[in-house]
Structure 1
C-alpha cells in the first residue's frame, strides 16, 4: 500500500481502496442518484494523491449521468506524485482504462497553479491545483456541489484541515453542497460547523469506527450565483477560431449554440493556412507564464481531440525553436535562460536543436497548425453557421431576461451571447471594440533550397514552417491599418513577400532571395489591443453578465483562443474556471475601458 513518509500516513485507510472510495466519498455524497438528474455537476477534492477518487467517480459518472451532462472536477495536491510513481501505483491498483490513460498522458509538470486535464469521452474535465490548499482555493472561481475531504490525517497534515481551508470550501460551495471524509476528528467537525456545514457522524469504513458527512447550510456565496448558470441556448457572433472554440466548449457542456457570421467558417484571419503555437514567456511575469502554460496545454489537447475524432492531420510541424536574431531577441533569450525553465512553466529546453547560429530556446510542445483546417474540424460537429450579420445586441431588462440580437431577418432572443467577431467586421456591437486596432499580416509560401534541420519551426525575426519537399510557409508581416471596419483592399502585396524573405534571410537556404520561388501567399486582417492579450470576459454592455467577449486574438490567437473559450463556458455556467482569478484578470476587457485603440509595429 502506498505510504507518504513525510506525513507518516498511508494514501488509503483500508486494504480495499476501491471499496473505501465508494463508501466514504461516492455514497456519502449520494452521487449516483444526483448524477442521474443533473445537467452540470461539480466536485471538489482536497488531496489528489493517486487519482483513484477521480477515476472511480468518472466510472460512476459514465454509468449514471445523462449523455449530455457535464462533470467538472477540482482537486488540490501540495506534493504531487512523480509521473513514474503515478504509473507504478496505477499498475498496482489495476487502473488501465481510457480515463486513467488520459490522466497519465496529460499529467501536468510540477508547476504551482491550476492545470486542466480533459476526459472528452466521459464529458468531464479535471482542474488539478498544485500548491498549498488555502491560498490556491482563494484564487479558484466556480461552485462545488460535492466535496471529497481527503487529505492525510489532521494530526500529520494540519495545513489542510483548518478554518482557512474550510472558509474557502464554504465560499465555493453551492447551496446544499455535501461532503464526505474518512476522518472523524472533533476539531474538523467543529470547524466545518463554524463555516456553515451541518455535520453528522456515521459508521466508519473497515476498521474505522466513525467518519463524517454533511451538508452546506451557510449563507449564499458572494458574488451571487451566475445568472446564466441555467443557460440552454447561447448565440455566438463570429465563426473564426475564437467563436468556434467557444461554441465547441459550450456544446461539450450540453449547451445549444447558434453561430452567426456572414463570411462563414474561418472567413477572416482564422482562415490562414499556417500558424505557430508558441508561448509568450516573460522572465518575471508569472501570471503571463501561467496563461502561456495553460494555453499550450489547452490548444494541444483540442488538436489531439480533433485529430482523433476527424482522422485529419491538423499539425504541419512539431517543435518550435526561437532564435535571438535581433538585439531584442538575444536579450529575451538571455533573460529567459537566466530565469530558468522551471520559473517559466518548463516550456522550453535551453539545449534543444537549432537551425541558426544564434542564442536560442527550443519549445518541444510548440506546433505549426493549418488554422483553416482546425476551424473546419471544430465546425464539423457544430450547427451550420448562419450567414447573417448581427447588427445589434440588446441586454434584457432583468437578470433572467436573456439577450436579444438584431439581424436583417429580425430580432431573436437567447439566454446569453458571446461576441467573437473578427477585425474589420464593419459593425461595433459593444463599447470594448473601441479599444481594438487592426493589423494586416501576409504569409508567403516558397520553394527554396532548405536543408533538413529536423522538421521543426524556426522563429526569430519571422518564422519558417518547413513543408513537403523544398516548400515552406514564411511570414508574417505586421502592418498597422487605420479606419477599422472600412472597406479596403486586402490583396497580397509583392512588397510584403519581399519583406518576409528579407526578415528570414538568417534561415539556412533563405540567404539569397534570387534563389527562392514564391509559390503562393495569403493575407488577412487581425484585431489587437495594446498589451497583445485578448479581451475575455463580461461586456460593460450588460451588468447581468449575459453578454460575454472573446475578442482581439490577432496576436497569438492559437495560444489564447481555445483557453479563453473554456474559461468563458465555465464562467457562464458557474463551473470551475481554468485560470486563477488574478491570472484571469489579465484578460478582463475592463482593463482597457478608458483607452482607445492601440498597437505598435512589432509582432
Structure 2
C-alpha cells in the first residue's frame, strides 16, 4: 500500500466559504452557484430526467464521473433521482467516481453545507465516507441498495481501466466477453475535474479511450470545458462532440454520445496489467516449466489468437463469453442458492437487493447450523500496509463489511458494534499495527493504537500488550444474521432440502435430490455449501480444505471482568452474550472428529490466559471438562482467498489455454470457458463475517450485469478458474 498522505487534497477557503485546491490553484465548483452549475452541466445536458423516466422497471442506470471532489455532483444527482423515482419500479442508481486527491470527510461536510437542501444526502455520504487516505475501490450502499456509490481513489484512467472486464492488452470487446454473461456499460459520463490547463495529467487520450471501452450505444457525456484538445481526444475515441452554451459566464461546453466510430488514430489503451508489482498477477509463475525439445507439444502451432508475450500480459481467461440479448427474457432473473450458511445467505441477500428472485435451499432444518453456527463471530481480518493482494482484499472487505452491517442495521439486530482490538503478539506485529494506525492517523474512529497502559480504559481489562483498535468493527451472531438476511420479499427459503445433483437442460439449471426428484430450476445457480460443494461434478476439481475448529462457551459467572471490546490475538474472546463468553478457536487441519474435545477447550483457555493477567489468574480455576461449545469445519483454500465467480468448463478451458503449459507468458486473447449460469461462493475460512458481504456484492454484480466493486486484477485472485490456470502453467493438468 502506497503512502497516500501526499495525495490528500490541501484546501484553502475563500471569503464565501468555498474550497480552493492548493495543488491546482483552482475551484471545485462555480463561485456563483455550484449546485446550479452541476444541474445544468451534467444533469440537464446528459438529459437524465427524461432518460430516467424511460428506464425499465428494476433497471439500473450507471453514471461515471472523473473527479469526485466535494461529492456535489453525486448528492445533487441523488437528490434529483429520489424526487423523480416511483418506488414501485425498484430502480437503481449506480454512481461511479474517481478521485486522485480525496478530501477528508470534514472538508466534504463543510463544502456541502453551502446548500442546506442537500443536508440529508450530505450527512449520509459523510457518515459512510471511507477512511482516508484510501486507495483502490470502495463501495457504499444507500437506501437498501437503490443507490450505489463506487469510489476509486487513484488516477481516473487507471481506475476505469480496472473497472473494465477487458484488459488493455486485449483486442476483444464487450461483445466477446465480460465478467459475467451480461456485459456492463456506463450510461452517462460526468467529465469533470480541474480545468485542462490546470490539471493536464488527467485530460489525455488514455482516459478518453478507457471511457470508450466502458460505453455503449446509448452512452452520453457532458463536460464543463470546451477545450479543443478535449474535443479532439473524445472524437478520436469514438464520441460525437458538440459545443453548447456553458454555465453562467462560460461561453461554451461540450456534450456528446458514444458512436463506436473512431475518427482518428487511437493509441493502445493504457496497459495497467503490466504492473511492475508482479504480485498483482494471479497467474504469474517465476518458476515456470518449459516444454523440452522433442516433447509432443514442442511442435504445437500457435493459434491466431495466441501471441508472443515478452512483457508477461495475463491472458483474459477471467472473461465469460457474452450472451446474446434475448428479447423474451425477463428483466428479473431467477437464481437458486445452495447452502444456508453465511456465504449462502449473504449472496441470497445481495441478489435479492438487485431485484433477483431467489430460492435458497438448505439441507438442515435451520439456517447457520454448521461452520456458521457459532453463538458469536468476529468481524476481523489481518491488517497490514504491506502491498500485496491479500492485504488489499482484507482491508477492502473490512471497510465494506462494517459499512454493510451498520447501514442495514445488522450490528443492532444481530450483535454489537463494540470495537475489535487486534493484540500485538510480537514486536514485528506491533510495528505493523503502529504503521497501520499511523497511516490512518486522521481517522481515529477507524483505527488507532491502544497502548498497554491505556488498555484498561479502552477494553475493561489490563492487557499484556498494545493493540490496534478498530472501533467500527464488532461481533455478530452468525445464525441470527443468517435469519435476518433472508427476511426479504425476493427470497424463498426451503430448509431440509438436500441437493444431490445439478444439471443444465434447455437453458436452465435443474436441481435434484437423492431420489432424483427435481427440487427447483432457474437460469442461475450459486453453490455456497462450503466443502460439500465438491460432491457436484462441476466443482470437484476445486482445492477446498476442511479445517476443524472448536469454540468454548464459558458462563459469564465464571469470568469476572468488565470486557467491552472483542479481543483478538492467537485466539479471541467477545463480550458476554446470553450469559456466556465465547472463546476460540482451535485449528485442526487433519481432524474430522465432530465430538467436543476437552483438549481443545484447554487450548482455548490457554490462549485466553495469554491476553491478560486478570484472565490468566481466573483461568486457573476453570475446569474445561464443564465447558459447552461448538465444533465446526471451516472451508478454506490453499491461497487463503475465497472462491467467488463462474465455474469453469474444465475440458474446454484446458484445450483453449493449453499453450500455457509450454510458456506461462503466452498471451491467449480469448475468453475463458464456463458453465453458463453456474457460480460459486466458497472458501471463507474463519473470515466469513468479514469476507462474505463484499464477495456477495461482487458475485451479485456479475450475475446482474452491474459494475463490480473491486478491481479486475483483484477479481482474478478470487476467480474459481485461477487454480486451473495455475495448474496449466505448472504442467499439472
TM normalised by structure 1 equals 0.88
**One of 154, 158, 161 as aligned partner of 2:200:** 158
1:457 aligns with 2:563: no
Q: Which residue of 2 aligns with 1:24?
A: 41
* Paired residues for 1:99-498 under 5 Å: 99-109=121-131, 110-121=133-144, 123-141=146-164, 142-218=184-260, 226-227=322-323, 232-263=333-364, 264-307=366-409, 312-316=412-416, 318-325=418-425, 329-337=426-434, 341-342=438-439, 348-351=447-450, 353-354=454-455, 355-381=462-488, 383-387=491-495, 388-395=497-504, 401-407=507-513, 408-410=516-518, 412-424=520-532, 427-431=535-539, 434-447=542-555, 450=559, 452=561, 454-467=563-576, 471-481=580-590, 490-498=594-602
Residues 111 and 345 of structure 1 are in contact (CA less than 8 Å); yes or no, is this contact kept in structure 2?
no
Residues 73 and 576 of structure 1 are in contact (CA less than 8 Å); yes or no, is this contact kept in structure 2?
no
1: CA distance, partners of 2:606 / 2:144: 47
1: CA distance, partners of 2:241 / 2:534: 58
Q: 3-state DSSP class of the match of 1:575?
A: coil
**What is the deviation of 1:565?**
0.3
In structure 2, do the counterparts of structure 1 residues 396 and 78 end up closer, same or farther at CA, with 3 Å as the change threshold?
farther
Residues 65 and 190 of structure 2 are in contact (CA less than 8 Å); yes or no, is this contact kept in structure 1?
yes
Q: 3-state DSSP class of the match of 1:539?
A: strand
- Number of aligned positions between the proteins: 583
2: CA distance, partners of 1:545 / 1:166: 33
**One of 474, 490, 501 as aligned partner of 2:605:** 501
Residues 317 and 456 of structure 1 are in contact (CA less than 8 Å); yes or no, is this contact kept in structure 2?
no
Q: Encode CA deviations 1:256-283: one digit per residue, 9 max, x unaligned.
A: 1111112242132112211111122345
**What is the deviation of 1:301?**
2.2
In structure 2, do the counterparts of structure 1 residues 469 and 60 end up closer, same or farther at CA, with 3 Å as the change threshold?
closer
**What is the deviation of 1:331?**
3.5
Residues 189 and 199 of structure 1 are in contact (CA less than 8 Å); yes or no, is this contact kept in structure 2?
yes
Unpaired segments ≥5 residues, structure 1: 483-487, 597-603
Q: Which residue of 2 aligns with 1:515?
A: 621
In structure 2, do the counterparts of structure 1 residues 428 and 187 end up closer, same or farther at CA, with 3 Å as the change threshold?
same
2: CA distance, partners of 1:561 / 1:219: 42
Q: Which residue of 1 aligns with 2:301?
A: none
2: CA distance, partners of 1:100 / 1:524: 44
Q: Encode CA deviations 1:354-402: one digit per residue, 9 max, x unaligned.
A: 44223543333331211111111111125231232222233468xxx34
2: CA distance, partners of 1:106 / 1:299: 12
In structure 2, do the counterparts of structure 1 residues 549 and 417 end up closer, same or farther at CA, with 3 Å as the change threshold?
same
Residues 352 and 491 of structure 2 are in contact (CA less than 8 Å); yes or no, is this contact kept in structure 1?
no
Residues 318 and 457 of structure 1 are in contact (CA less than 8 Å); yes or no, is this contact kept in structure 2?
yes
Q: Which residue of 1 aligns with 2:635?
A: 527
Q: Encode CA deviations 1:146-180: one digit per residue, 9 max, x unaligned.
A: 11111111111112211111111111113321111
Residues 383 and 395 of structure 2 are in contact (CA less than 8 Å); yes or no, is this contact kept in structure 1?
no
Q: 3-state DSSP class of the match of 2:367?
A: coil
**What is the deviation of 1:431?**
2.7
Q: 3-state DSSP class of the match of 2:240?
A: strand
Select between 194-203 and 446-455 the one with higher mean Cα deviation. 446-455
1:558 aligns with 2:689: yes
**What is the deviation of 1:469?**
9.7
Select between 386-395 and 20-29 the one with higher mean Cα deviation. 386-395
Larger Rg: 2
**What is the deviation of 1:14?**
5.5
Residues 224 and 246 of structure 2 are in contact (CA less than 8 Å); yes or no, is this contact kept in structure 1?
yes
2: CA distance, partners of 1:297 / 1:117: 10
